[in-house]
Structure 1
Amino acid sequence: MKFFASLLVSAVLAAPMLTFSPSASAAEEKPAAPAVAKPDLVKGEASFTAVCAACHGADGNSGVPANPKLAQQHPEYLVKQLQEFKSGKRNNPIMKGFASTLSDDDMRNIAYWAASKKAKPGFAKDKALVSLGEKIYRGGIADRQVPACAGCHSPTGSGIPSQYPRLGGQHADYTAAQLVGFRDGARLNSLPMTQVAAKLNDREIKAVADYIAGLR
């Protein structure tokens, strides 16, 4: 009996060890991404009223041509701009001061509240330049490889959510100032816009900005 017991122990010890890998589905499982809180529009309105309304209007429709309308803007774009003002990637001392006080949740709440408000239409004012502005916006400038603005911002200026901002109805003064900023290096947070604006002269910038103001 001792002989057979010894033989059995030797056989067990000599047997290869088996390991079990998780099933393919388990191995491919990834940790769930942290849930992003839904925007709180009530808090967004309160924050907008306290921080933004003085310059951008109570409903996001700025009455000051130098300050942009924010109503109906894509919220993802607004969040990105606030984050870049806060980090300094977009250089504006006034906006940096305001954005620095906001958390990511604050930014998201404000952006989605502003996006929920209807933008008031604007108007083109310079009849002498409107045809040039339309030509550039819809067709670009082929000999200088300036692409049509409509290709990214849509024929009506509504933009493409998450990618390109809404432009239609925006104050011409503000749009022109941004194009000059991109061209002259004062605004550096969009390489495509820097490349486009670098090829435009002052008259062309004024024309396209005025045409954009009348889009709806």
Structure 2
Amino acid sequence: MKRIMLLAMATFSLAGSALAAAPGPQGDPAKGKQIVDTVCAACHGVDGNSVAAANPSLAGQSSQYLYNQLKAFKSGQRKNPTMLGMASTLSDDDMRNVAAYFSEQKPKEREAADKALMPLGAKIYRVGNNTTHVPACMACHGPAGKGLPDEFPRLGSQHAAYVAKQLADFKAGADRKNSIMYDIASRMTDEEMKAVAEYISGLR
């Protein structure tokens, strides 16, 4: 467990140093809003705060991470038929502009729907599970779930159902391929994934 935690912290630190030296994608938020209003708002909200839990809230997410995900959807590296169709219509500049707009929006504060799962969720997020060698989520995503641009997305105030679905997808290794998250999610029970997703939704 200690070894996994040290590796996670080392990855977090190294990524932080590299990304601090590399600026995020330059985009025009005003132009991005025009695209959001006509292409993205129906699912993700005009201000990046989606109403439906199946669609992630994008407000406050780092522009670098959003840009990278749009590119992944467009190339088919990240598999999602709906997002493939949407991203395919966007130029590189369009993706930079959309990413810039969403990154400037304020995330809507949420509360966990199932309070009974909060203790377990907090434990997994802050400490992990020593028995099954699941590292603490905050090692990469930060104590408040603010994440780190590019590699580690912002999680705080995200829909719990969406977070749980992504963990399940990582564990299945089908639509989302990520060696680090696959290894972590594969060690988690369904209850742990649901609990940590509930805890994450209430992070500020």
Please report the TM-score for the alignment, with normalisation by the length of structure 1.
0.81
Judge conservation of contact 1:178–1:187 (CA < 8 Å) in 2: no
Give deviations 1:118-165, integer Å, cap 9, x for gaps.
Answer: 111111121221100000000011121111000000010011123310
Secondary structure, counterpart of 1:52 in structure 2: helix
Aligned match of 2:164: 176
Greater percentage in helix: 2
Runs (4+) of structure 1 exceeding 6 A deviation are: none
Secondary structure, counterpart of 2:97 in structure 1: helix
Judge conservation of contact 1:124–1:214 (CA < 8 Å) in 2: yes
Uncovered stretches (5+) of structure 2, i.e. residues with no partner:
1-23
Q: Residue 160 in 1 paired to residue 148 in 2? A: yes
For residues 111 and 195 of structure 1, what CA distance do their matches in structure 2 show? Answer: 29
Deviation (angstroms), 1:191: 1.7
72, 92, 98: which one aligns with 1:84? 72
For residues 208 and 60 of structure 1, what CA distance do their matches in structure 2 show? Answer: 22
Aligned match of 1:206: 194
Aligned match of 1:185: 173
Uncovered stretches (5+) of structure 1, i.e. residues with no partner:
1-35
For residues 150 and 113 of structure 1, what CA distance do their matches in structure 2 show? Answer: 26
Deviation (angstroms), 1:190: 2.1
Q: Residue 109 in 1 paired to residue 97 in 2? A: yes
Aligned match of 1:136: 124
Q: 1 or 2 for the larger relative contact order (CA 8 Å, sep ≥6)?
A: 2
Judge conservation of contact 2:156–2:202 (CA < 8 Å) in 1: yes
Root mean square deviation of aligned Cα: 1.3
Aligned match of 1:27: none
Q: Residue 146 in 1 paired to residue 142 in 2? A: no
15, 18, 36: which one aligns with 1:48? 36
Judge conservation of contact 2:25–2:96 (CA < 8 Å) in 1: no
For residues 173 and 45 of structure 2, what CA distance do their matches in structure 1 show? Answer: 28
Aligned match of 2:84: 96
Give deviations 1:74-95, integer Å, cap 9, x for gaps.
Answer: 1111111111111111110000
Please report the TM-score for the alignment, with normalisation by the length of structure 2.
0.86
AA at the equivalent of 2:140: C
Number of aligned pairs?
A: 181
Aligned match of 1:10: none
Q: Residue 127 in 1 paired to residue 115 in 2? A: yes
For residues 38 and 198 of structure 1, what CA distance do their matches in structure 2 show? Answer: 36
- The correspondence of residues 67-78 of structure 1 with structure 2, limited to 5 A, is 67-78=55-66
Deviation (angstroms), 1:61: 0.4
Judge conservation of contact 2:26–2:100 (CA < 8 Å) in 1: no
For residues 189 and 37 of structure 1, what CA distance do their matches in structure 2 show? Answer: 23
AA at the equivalent of 2:160: A
Aligned match of 1:3: none
